Amino acid sequence: MSGYYAGVIILTCVNLLSVLGLSLLTGFTGSFCFGQAGFMAVGAYVSTILTMEYAAPFPIALLAGALASMLVSIPLGYPTLRLKGDYFAIATLGFAEAVRLVVENLEKITGGSRGIPSIPPHTNLPTILIVSIVAIWLVRNYIGSRHGRNCIAVREDELAAEAIAVDSFRYKQISFAINGFLGGLSGGFLAHYVGFIQPSMFGIPKSTELIVMVIFGGMHSVTGAVLAAIILTALPEVLRAASAWRLVAYGAVVVLIMVVRPEGLLGSWELSRDSLQELWGGLKTRLAKE
């Protein structure tokens, strides 16, 4: 496989890890988050500083960055997850911008607006593929467990969930922490792939791009989130021949899907053995009728 295609797959996996966390928090728990770029920034800078300044092994630095991002989500979530509706989304947007501004002003530690160059290129295709597959498996199992069903109950009707003894705040906090961990993991992989990070990489456009992927694939489908990450990461590369018009075409495709399929590409459909058997059975019945 050429380096170009390997690079596209790596960037797809980077986005996928963040989108998985957002899918759990936004799609399955019902808390709309616009601050994913902030978690990515925490993971990217912590892991980079550890590998460059303290010569930490990459796996340890990567895990430390993800844990740091998760730890940031806990005090952030305590007041913000009590907010209702759009207020939580606005609070997370403010968090992401606050992280970006802090990074810009800590010049001695983070390099300020100039960023950190010459980051060791530790991210490779086999590692990030394995991590992504494990992350998908873990998130799918969590959603299929009792805890995941409680998250879905909170999303559907928080008051009714509370009435049957589901601690809605606790499950929101767990989803927020998992989202922070995956976002930090994603940021660490990104930093050690591109070899350079600066605050502008983790602004509002990045958060918007990730939340669009969740909506595009289907708010209530992990499979949809995976598919959207693949399509929307690869699409700009496919349209690269169109030069400046490729971003216009990219936006047009997203708008078209939102108009034609407001529930996203897959809605709430999940890829599983049962769903494939049901799909195959329906196809055989249709062919028999014809």
List, for residues 219-239, the tens digit of each pLDDT value.
888 888 899 899 888 877 776
Q: Is 207 left (phi over 0), alpha (psi -120 to 50) or beta?
A: alpha
For 30, phi then psi, to 5°, come to 85, 15
For residue 247, the SS3 value is helix
- CA–CA gap between residue 112 and residue 199 (Å, rounded): 8
Give the model's pLDDT for residue 15: 94
Domains of the chain: residue spans and CATH = 3-289 (1.10.3470)
Instruction: Enter the pTM of the model.
Output: 0.90
- CA–CA gap between residue 84 and residue 157 (Å, rounded): 12
- CA–CA gap between residue 140 and residue 262 (Å, rounded): 23
- CA–CA gap between residue 59 and residue 81 (Å, rounded): 31
- CA–CA gap between residue 290 and residue 282 (Å, rounded): 13
Q: How confident is the model at residue 69 (pLDDT cuts 50, 70, 90)?
A: very high
Strands (E), 177-260: none
> 278 or 148: whose pLDDT is higher?
148
- CA–CA gap between residue 220 and residue 260 (Å, rounded): 17
Q: Is the pLDDT of residue 247 over 80?
A: no
Q: Is the pLDDT of residue 280 over 60?
A: yes
